[in-house]
Amino acid sequence: KNEVEQSPQNLTAQEGEFITINCSYSVGISALHWLQQHPGGGIVSLFMLSSGKKKHGRLIATINIQEKHSSLHITASHPRDSAVYICAPNTGNQFYFGTGTSLTVIP
């Protein structure tokens, strides 16, 4: 049983498109992280959410605690957004990771 389900697994978009990545989880959580892993392997934390919505530049993350669902949106996508995006909810002492969404943005 997977505690975290991400969709889609792979996504190819044209530059400028609006992108949505979804994350559903089955556990009661303290917080949920969205991570970005670039092709070179480095991992960057994009957002930490415990409720509502956060925005940083062209990135928006939302969470619905009742529905156990989070989304990551990228507006006006750019080739430099090409990366693997990972949803990572946790309960405070249990840490879960989605398998990631591989995004490729084509110029």
Distance in Å, CB of 9 to other proteins, minimum: 11
Rounded to the nearest whole angstrom, what is the least distance from the CB of residue 99 to other proteins in the complex?
5
Question: Does 75 participate in binding other proteins (rule CB under 8 A)?
Answer: no
Number of residues that bind other proteins (CB under 8 A): 23
Residue among 35, 25, 4, 1 at smallest CA distance from 99: 4
1 contacts other proteins (rule: CB under 8 A): no
Site membership for other proteins, residue 43 (CB under 8 A): yes
Find, among 39, 73, 44, the residue nearest to 58 by Cα.
73
CB neighbours of residue 11 within 10 Å: 18
Which positions touch other proteins (CB under 8 A)?
30-31, 33, 35, 41-48, 50, 86, 88, 90, 92-93, 95, 97-100
